[in-house]
């Protein structure tokens, strides 16, 4: 690859102008946190959208399982999700009672 081809390729990948001397690349960092399985279940809420989403991380049959309870037009949906999504930095920790209140609304919908 020639220098011009490299610069053209970089120009497509970054938002700032590219010269032969300098260029900027946006990077993201990852923070790894340690949690103790004895602290589970853990409950979280994502409240950045129109409706709050509720997460629970728990141990079931020796494995960590993450549940997602979210409101939809027809009521609620309950599904599984990932650890990354459950422990995401945008989520706020909530109490078990807040999770139970949402589960009560979900079970009422099922009746």
Domain ranges of the chain: 1-30, 33-110
- Provide the terminal-to-terminal Cα distance of the chain, rounded to the nearest Å: 65
Residues 6+ apart with CB under 8 A from 93: 42, 43, 44
pLDDT of residue 98: 93
Token pair recorded at residue 51: 């409706």
In what helix (H) or strand (E) does residue 53 lie, and over which residues does it extend? Answer: strand 53-60
The tens place of each residue's pLDDT in the chain, 111 residues long, gives 677 777 777 666 665 555 566 667 677 776 667 777 788 899 999 988 788 899 999 988 888 899 999 988 888 888 999 988 998 888 999 999 999 999 998 888 877
Cβ atoms of 10 and 20 within 8 Å: the answer is no
pTM: 0.67
pLDDT of residue 6: 73
């Amino acid at each position: 690859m020639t220098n011009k081809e490299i610069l053209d390729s970089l120009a497509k990948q970054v938002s700032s102008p590219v010269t032969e001397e300098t260029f900027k690349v946006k990077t993201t960092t990852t923070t790894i946190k340690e949690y103790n399985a004895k602290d589970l279940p853990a409950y979280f809420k994502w409240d950045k959208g129109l409706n709050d989403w509720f997460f629970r991380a728990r141990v079931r049959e020796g494995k960590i399982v993450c549940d997602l309870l979210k409101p939809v037009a027809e009521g609620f949906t309950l599904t599984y999700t990932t650890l990354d999504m459950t422990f995401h930095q945008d989520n706020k920790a909530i109490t078990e009672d807040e999770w139970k209140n949402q589960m009560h609304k979900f079970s009422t919908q099922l009746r």
